[in-house]
Structure 1
Amino acid sequence: MSKLVSRRVSLAAAMPLVASVVAAMLLTSCDGVQQAVDDLTSASPTPAVGAPTQGGGAPAGDGSALAVLATLQVQPLSTEKKYQRDEFGTAWKDVDHNSCDTRNDILHRDLRSVTVGKDDCLVLSGELADPYTNRTIRFNRGKDSSAVQIDHVVALADAWRTGAYAWTDDTREAFANDPQNLLAVDGPTNIEKSDQDASEWLPPAKGYQCSYVARQVGLKARYHLWVTQAEADAMRGVLSTCPTQPELGE
């Protein structure tokens, strides 16, 4: 996709990142997402002048999130353009053309005991085993719908400030609807997280923090986003407790 994004990734990191993309693409059925990620990684990355340092100290290539973290670029948040939600396209678009929007796709995937409307798409009720709090939460469409919300694991605003501002509209839309970046979670906890990165917020359920950070690392590698120094340090601190945790792994 955007050569501005590709230039932020060093030539030495290109091969493990491409391998990560291929593996992640096998896990999603969204054609639009696959095409956008394909395009994003199609150009060979070239080092930028004054390229920032890498994010970790672990040797890359062993498939762990800790190793992938070492390939991410470290630099301050961009203030080049102001974040706007609509830069990532219409919220919850039907990107895989299954006649069901992304929000309901994720509710179908993450809830159990689901009931649906006559169209077999609209989720009316279900039960969530919330990964962020370890609580069981009942979802009922209507006045209690906000009890369960769909979280962008890498927040859109954070993505914007770490490279997405330079993407094409198609790539931003793919990122906003990528199933790997979406989780049904406890609504109030999602609001508390807001657009914070791993240096500012981690899931209250400590047993999920490794999976959460690993998914963030995998997504940032897949989409050629960078991390701040504080973010890299926080990620490394979490992943050092689970050094074999795979990127994007559960």
Structure 2
Amino acid sequence: MALLALVGALLAGRAILPDRSAPGPAPGSPTRAQVVSLLGAVRVVDARTKAGGYDRGCGSGQGCVFGPAWSDDQDGPGGHDGCDTRNDVLARDLTEVRFKPGTRDCIVMSGTLADPYSGQTIEFTKSDAKAVQIDHVIPLAAAWDLGAARWPPERRRVFANDVTFNLLAVDGSDNQAKGDSTPSDWLPPNPAYHCFYAGKYLTAATRYDLPITVADRAALGRIAQTCG
């Protein structure tokens, strides 16, 4: 029960733009004790081993191992609400949101993102949609290698579209730089958001019983020491 309460507290938080004159974690970041608690709960494996068979594409002859991208046809958080997953996340994470008329407040046309990786303010418009992308906090390819390859298809679809635990709207260039890296190979470019990212990564890992590697545990452990 204590871990569930901790996870709920972390999900309720949202990193916001920090006071640039004040060093330390961004407001909304978990405490050192919270990150340490999650580190104690997550499984640890020696290394990430390529599972083989990862094929994200859903075209003819492709594996479609996590289902169609941003599908509303899944039974997890945000599923079956009439809006695709990408727009669900944009509507949640942006402020001053404007929707396309006639879409039942579904298709996001513009808004403002307080980016949880860079700390920058990004003005989103649908005409420049790549400027804001939706990040899988635990990348799909990494999840596949760490155990999702053995999951049933529906669990993989839920994971890929889980707006509560594993998805964030972020700066597009940072999302591209991250790729399928895990914390030992990539961290948000702004150190003020490392604690926030560590909390989100570990919360998703515990939710889906995905392990972290020894190297990732070391990286996240170092981050924990910097959290307030």
Return the alpha-carbon distance in structure 1 between the equivalents of residues 199 and 55 of structure 2: 26
Corresponding residue number in structure 1 for 2:37: 67
Corresponding residue number in structure 2 for 1:91: 69
Question: Per-residue displacement from partner, 1:82-114 (whole Å, max 9, x unpaired)?
Answer: 322221111111142111111000000011111
Question: Per-residue displacement from partner, 1:3-40 (whole Å, max 9, x unpaired)?
Answer: xxxxxxxxxxxx87xx539955xx69xxxxxxxxxxxx
Count of residue correspondences: 193
Q: 1:23 to 1:153 in 2, by over 3 A?
A: closer
| Corresponding position: 1:140 with 2:125 | yes
Return the alpha-carbon distance in structure 2 between the equivalents of residues 102 and 237 of structure 1: 33
Return the alpha-carbon distance in structure 2 between the equivalents of residues 83 and 221 of structure 1: 22
Residue 64 of structure 1 aligns to a residue in which SS?
Answer: helix
Q: Percent identity?
A: 43
Residue 65 of structure 2 aligns to a residue in which SS?
Answer: helix
Residue 185 of structure 1 aligns to a residue in which SS?
Answer: strand
Alignment of 1:24-63 (within 5 A): 24=8
Structure number with the bigger relative contact order (C-alpha 8 A, sep ≥ 6) is 2
Return the alpha-carbon distance in structure 2 between the equivalents of residues 21 and 221 of structure 1: 13
Residue 183 of structure 1 aligns to a residue in which SS?
Answer: strand
Return the alpha-carbon distance in structure 1 between the equivalents of residues 7 and 221 of structure 2: 22
Corresponding residue number in structure 2 for 1:172: 156
Give, in angstroms, the shift of residue 158 of structure 1: 1.0
Corresponding residue number in structure 2 for 1:121: 106
Give, in angstroms, the shift of residue 222 of structure 1: 1.4
TM-score by length of 2: 0.77
Return the alpha-carbon distance in structure 2 between the equivalents of residues 229 and 21 of structure 1: 26
Letter of the structure 2 residue corresponding to residue 161 of structure 1: D
TM-score by length of 1: 0.71
Return the alpha-carbon distance in structure 1 between the equivalents of residues 212 and 149 of structure 2: 14
Corresponding residue number in structure 2 for 1:103: 86
| Corresponding position: 1:149 with 2:133 | yes
5+ unaligned residues in a row in structure 2: which ranges? 13-31, 57-63
Give, in angstroms, the shift of residue 63 of structure 1: 7.2
Corresponding residue number in structure 2 for 1:241: 226
Letter of the structure 1 residue corresponding to residue 162 of structure 2: D
Contact 2:6/2:34 (CA < 8 Å) preserved in 1? no
5+ unaligned residues in a row in structure 1: which ranges? 1-14, 29-61, 245-250
Contact 1:74/1:232 (CA < 8 Å) preserved in 2? no
Residue 133 of structure 1 aligns to a residue in which SS?
Answer: coil
| Corresponding position: 1:225 with 2:210 | yes
Corresponding residue number in structure 1 for 2:47: 76
What value does the CA root-mean-square deviation take over the aligned residues?
2.4
Return the alpha-carbon distance in structure 2 between the equivalents of residues 100 and 145 of structure 1: 17
Residue 189 of structure 1 aligns to a residue in which SS?
Answer: helix
Runs of 4+ displaced beyond 3 Å: 19-24
Q: Name the stretch that deviates more: 70-79 or 190-199.
A: 70-79
